[in-house]
A and B are shown apart, each in its own frame.
Chain A
Amino acid sequence: MAKTITQEFTKGLWAEIPPFRLVLGLCPILAITNAFENAVGMGLAVTFVLTGSNVLISAIRKIIPPKVRIVAFIVVIATFVTVVELVMQAYTYALFLKLGIYIPLIVVNCIPMGRAEAFASKNNMVRSALDGLGMGIGYTLSLMALAAFREIIATGGITLYEKPVALFGAAFEPFRFLVEAPGAFVCLGLMLGIMNILGKK
């Protein structure tokens, strides 16, 4: 309980980095890390939802009756997801089409729900905001790392601002397996193993 405010923020970046330490929210990780840009968009959307829902849930945590808290959390999270959905549809339509069904599915991504239950319903607003922000950024970073790895190995380059940049010479044989469904599972499994090795003290 004696965590400083900075620690609330930084724990999401390494010590409790969401997809690897708490194995939650795997579906989008597998589905949208086939391209770097998708991962960035998804990460930012989740960060926004996580921070917003954490702050709001923390603000109303004393007036939610404990018996219906799960439903209350879901409504709050769904509200923020709807906001993200409409904003993305209006301003980043190409990305909105690419992410497709996975944007509304942020509602059932276990991370916002898990943080609401485990953290925001017990802590004040400042701490909850930092927790949400830290977790969101940690989530974004892991999405980006996985997506960059998959895209670079599978296509031999990376797409930035909708322009493909080739990183290897013409002799490079793209390893398409990694952007397809089976590659996603294998890649995430290997990454989880590597994180376990790194985390062992």
Chain B
Amino acid sequence: MFGDLAVLAFSAVLINNILLIQYLGNCPFLGTSKKMETATGMAMAVVFVLVLAGIITWLAERYVLVPFDLKYLRTIAFILVIAALVQFVEMFLKKSIPGLYTGLGIYLPLITTNCAVLGVCLINVGKEYNFFQMLISSFAYPVGFGLALILFAGVRERILLARTPKPFQDTAIGLVTAGMLSLTFFAFKGWV
């Protein structure tokens, strides 16, 4: 039981890393990775939102959508739940941690349209995880997201000092670097 959950967590963080192997959540990945501070904030926000969203969407699927035979409304229902949650987190941060709120700026509302959040909720439901598996997966995936984001922010702060050819500056070189980072995560493939 615990062995299985540990394997699930390990593979969600490293082997199937949501950002670099499953390619979800790339817009905030490129947008907030220019500074370490925003990267950390974004990572924390995603972990927080995703654990809540995972629980709520899982409950919604099991106790509302399936009993009433409304599975075809899954996409709409999930995205509405996530949108409401993000709004809540935004209000919470604005009131209690204004510094972080200004740092994240435009990217906080964008968590709603962060594919990683909806993606993990859909993975949880699609693979028919039970409650504990769902909890582990909706915690481990965003941790993997945060890990990749923070590693990448560290690399990117150095790239700013390097002399990049003009057409490749900013996003283009960022993507090529992400490819290299993805290669390192790729090496974990086959461990489990």
Chain A interface residues toward B at CB < 8 A: 23-27, 30-31, 70-71, 74-75, 78-79, 81-82, 85-86, 101, 104-105, 107-110, 113, 180-190, 192-194, 196-197, 200
* B83→A71 contact, CB < 8 A: yes
* A104→B74 contact, CB < 8 A: yes
Known: A74-B79, A78-B75, A185-B179. 4 other contacts (CB 8 A): A30-B23, A81-B75, A186-B175, A196-B167
How long is the Cα–Cα vector from A85 to B27 in the complex, in angstroms? 23
How long is the Cα–Cα vector from A19 to B102 in the complex, in angstroms? 27
* B179→A186 contact, CB < 8 A: yes
* B25→A27 contact, CB < 8 A: yes
Name 8 A/B residue pairs within 8 A (Cβ), A-sorted. A27-B26, A70-B83, A104-B75, A104-B122, A181-B20, A182-B20, A182-B179, A184-B23
How long is the Cα–Cα vector from A140 to B126 in the complex, in angstroms? 27
Chain A residue nearest to B21 in the complex (CB):
A181
A23: contacting residue among B20, B30, B73, B122, CB under 8 A = B30
Chain B interface residues toward A at CB < 8 A: 20-27, 30, 72-76, 79-80, 83, 109-110, 112-115, 117-119, 122-123, 126, 165-168, 171-180, 182-183, 185-186
Chain B residue nearest to A177 in the complex (CB):
B183
* B180→A181 contact, CB < 8 A: no
A181: contacting residue among B23, B79, B126, B172, CB under 8 A = B23
* A190→B22 contact, CB < 8 A: no
Tell me the minimal C-beta distance from A6 to chain B in angstroms. 29
* B175→A192 contact, CB < 8 A: yes
A31: contacting residue among B23, B76, B186, CB under 8 A = B23
B75: contacting residue among A24, A85, A193, CB under 8 A = A85
Q: What B residues does A181 contact at CB under 8 A?
A: 20-21, 23, 182, 185-186
Query: Which of B20, B112, B167 has most A Cβ within 10 Å?
Result: B167
Chain B residue nearest to A89 in the complex (CB):
B72
* B80→A189 contact, CB < 8 A: no
How long is the Cα–Cα vector from A184 to B182 in the complex, in angstroms? 10
Chain B residue nearest to A106 in the complex (CB):
B75
With A82-B76, A196-B167, A197-B167 given, is the CB distance from A182 to B180 under 8 Å?
yes
Q: What B residues does A74 contact at CB under 8 A?
A: 79-80, 83, 112
How long is the Cα–Cα vector from A113 to B113 in the complex, in angstroms? 8
Q: What A residues does B118 contact at CB under 8 A?
A: 104-105, 107-108
